[in-house]
Amino acid sequence: MANLGSRRGFADKLSLPLMILAFLVVIGFLYWLNITAEPTEVVIVEEDQGRTSTASAILDEADFLADAVQYEGQVVEVTGARVASRLGPQAFWIGPDDAPFLVKMATTLVDDGTVVEVEQRVNLVGTVFMMTDSSHAAWDVLGAFPNDGDKIVAEFAIGSPFIEVTMIEGPGGEGGEGAGDAG
């Protein structure tokens, strides 16, 4: 068998020129991208500036009800809340019928004659508080319970969070701070 010789020397001789050629190809490609690239324009869509929220969190009803305790002492906006039932002229329950959440209207809303209807979808802005015996007694003094039945039902919320709303909007965005009817 004939010895054809080692090809190792041939590979060593081409490694440097091939490496330089690879760098030149990459540099040429990057230069070509730079020349042919077109600038992109980012369009920023701004929301309606007519309504601004002071809420620290904007949540839909399900997200808020999942862990309302974490928002205690904060102003929140709850969107798409379903009014489950009313509790006198100043309060109502939102959420599913088997686990309702108490909502108390601020005195400005009550004075303006704000009324919510059962099964209505509303957006609420207010502060989350914890229901205590003293807050229950204060509501009673304010006339939140027109009868003893409502007072007893509200006692079930003691030890649970509730939201005192300062703004109620209907589904179309009508209403406002101290607004009249919520829909």
Give per-residue pLDDT as tens, 120-151: 999 999 999 998 888 888 888 887 888 888 88
Find tokens 């704000």 and name the residue.
114
Q: Cα–chain-centroid distance for residue 103? A: 18
For helices 148-155 and 133-142, angle between their N-to-C axes, nearest 10 degrees: 160
- pTM for this entry: 0.63
CATH 2.40.50.140 given to domain 57-177: yes
Cβ distance 90 to 77 under 8 Å?
Answer: no
Decide which of 159 and 50 is more confident: 159
How far is it, in rounded angstroms, from Cα 168 to Cα 183?
9
Cβ distance 16 to 24 under 8 Å?
Answer: no
Q: Nearest Cα to 183, choosing from 45, 37, 74, 83?
A: 83
